[in-house]
Amino acid sequence: MRTLLAWLGTLLLANLAHANPVALDGTEQWTMHSAEGREYRIMVSLPEGDVPWTGGYPVIYLLDGNAYFPALHAAKRAQDRLRGSILVAIGYPSDTPLDFERRAFDLSPPQPAERNTPPQGGQDLFLDFIEKRLMPQVNARFKVDQDQRSLVGHSFGGMFGVYALFTRPQLFQHVVAISPSLWWRDRYLMEPERAFTQKAHAGKLDLTHSSLTLLIGDREMPQEIQDARALQMRLQALSQYGLRSDFQVEPGEDHMSIPFRVSARVLDELISTRRF
């Protein structure tokens, strides 16, 4: 009897080892490659219901999809008003929630050679992938409201979202930066911020329907909270050109817990935003 139980236990473990991964209802997954051959795992939370009166579904692009897609997908499907949207998460062919080497390259500015380990500096190539490869694929697959494109990123991803706003403001109408690493490389974002601000004052940018939301936990480093608050205060001057900026502190949350705490609020804010 003991031998039989041991054999059955071994058989059960073997079957579990070869079990298929859990599939989330209402989703699909693609594999895509950048122009340079880097592979990406694209996870899509499908829209539900009729196409909105605007003629297309709002679309939200999410960075670090391996880590954050399940939580945002669940939050989207839990409320009827959020289901009529598309969530496109960009991840990597990895079994880990955060692929530190890949995201270090995709989400960061160039580094001096002596500090370039792991390799960094691919943020413009990554933006090219999103703009020239991923977005056309999403547009071909779904009816998309081109006036309701948003980007959500956490930590390095939040830093990348701010960079995207400053350097390609036409790409996303709304950016949510959760705990953005504004301190990275001696606050390198200050330079593109100055260029962005100068273009706005010169009338060279259309910011009428643009927004940036900065979210941070109150248990994060005081300097990180201060940096995010200071950025939002500086950007308030651009409200005269239409840019809406917001700064929110989440009580009781730290750097790694806050993305999961604010999932439903982020989706609700982005999907409820109206252009007209």
Give me the pLDDT at residue 27, please: 96
Give me the pLDDT at residue 49, please: 92
Q: Domains in the chain and their CATH numbers?
A: 24-272 (3.40.50.1820)
pLDDT tens, position by position, for the chain (276 residues)?
A: 545 444 445 444 455 555 667 789 999 999 999 999 999 999 999 999 999 998 999 999 999 999 999 999 999 999 888 899 999 999 999 989 999 999 999 999 988 877 778 889 999 999 999 999 999 999 999 999 999 999 999 999 999 999 999 999 999 999 999 999 999 989 999 999 999 999 999 999 999 999 999 999 999 999 999 999 999 999 999 999 999 999 999 999 999 999 999 999 999 889 877 655
Beta carbons within 10 angstroms of residue 2's beta carbon: 6
Q: Which amino acid, one-letter code, is at 179? A: S
pTM value is 0.91
Give me the pLDDT at residue 258, please: 97
Token look-up 């880590």 returns 67
Beta bridge partners of 104: none
Beta carbons within 10 angstroms of residue 257's beta carbon: 14
